[in-house]
Amino acid sequence: MKVRSKVGDDSTSSRIISTPIGKLTLVASPRGLQRVIFGARKLSQTKRARTKTSGHLTQAERQLREYFAGERKKFSIKLDIGGTEFQESAWLALKRIGYGKTISYAQQARLVGKPKACRAVGSANGKNPVAIVLPCHRVIASGGTLGGYGGGLAIKRKLIALEKDFSAAG
């Protein structure tokens, strides 16, 4: 999962999409999706980069639209992300949380084999470069409160509610 292309270099490109939670900026390299950024950010890009990354951006946009329509429960987008070994294990654990479900930071820490690392998984989740795709919004505090979220607590609430609504309907 190591990042091979730096976000914003001449091999990456981006696309801004509108969603029910506001605008998202998607950033991809020729190897896969690198970032889901809350809000619209204009990033410089070359024509060559747009051509080489357009398939990843198109796939990410399509899968996110399906997710927001309740038609997609898991993402199959190729990723080009990287972090420390611990961060990557925490991010991969997010894929194991079922659609419409939530777990605590303590439960996530147990999933990565570090039961005392609750704060560390919270920190790793805060650095998750592809929020929603790797669903860190599904992790809440042990007492049932939401904890933090890169897109803000209002967006975290909306994502959890969206999944619960579609889970109840289907």
Q: Which domains are seen in the chain, by residue range?
A: 1-82 (3.30.160.70), 85-169 (1.10.10.10)
Residue numbers in the chain where pLDDT is lower than 50: 1-5, 8
Q: What is the pLDDT of residue 169?
A: 75
Q: What is the pLDDT of residue 12?
A: 85
Q: What is the pLDDT of residue 10?
A: 58
| Active-site residue identified among 36, 64, 81, 136 | 136
Q: What is the pLDDT of residue 47?
A: 59
Q: What is the pLDDT of residue 43?
A: 74
Q: What is the pLDDT of residue 2?
A: 46
Q: Is 118 a catalytic residue?
A: no
Q: What is the pLDDT of residue 38?
A: 95
List of residues 6+ apart from 97 with CB closer than 8 A = 103, 108, 135, 138, 139
No. of helices (H) and no. of strands (E), the chain: 5, 5
| Whole-structure pTM value | 0.88
